[in-house]
Amino acid sequence: MSLKGDFMKRNLSLALTAISLSLALTGCASNQTARATSVQVTPPVNPIDELRSVAVEARDELRLLAKVNDAVNTPSLTKEQHAQRYFQSTYVPKGFERNSKFSYTGPATRAAEALALMAGYKFKGPSVRLANEPWVTINIDNQPLNDALRELGVQTGSSIRVEVLEKANVINVVYKQ
pLDDT at residue number 33 = 61
What pLDDT is recorded for position 131?
81
Q: Are 90 and 137 in contact (CB under 8 A)?
A: no
Average per-residue pLDDT in the chain? Answer: 81
d(CA 123, CA 66): 28
pLDDT of residue 103: 94
Would you say the C-alpha torsion 143, 115, 61, 90 has a positive or negative sign? negative
**Structural domain boundaries in the chain:** 45-91, 93-177
pLDDT, average across residues 163-177: 90
pLDDT in the model for residue 149: 92
Q: Which CATH architecture is the domain 93-177 placed in?
A: 3-Layer(bab) Sandwich (3.55)
Beta strands (DSSP E) in the chain are 99-107, 122-124, 135-144, 160-165, 170-175
pLDDT tens-digit readout, 19-40: 776 666 665 555 556 666 776 6
When mean pLDDT is compared across 11-20, 124-133, 140-149, the lowest value belongs to 11-20
Residue 158 is predicted with a pLDDT of 79
What pLDDT sits at residue 81? Answer: 83
Of residues 120 and 157, the one with the higher pLDDT is 120
pLDDT at 167 over 80: yes
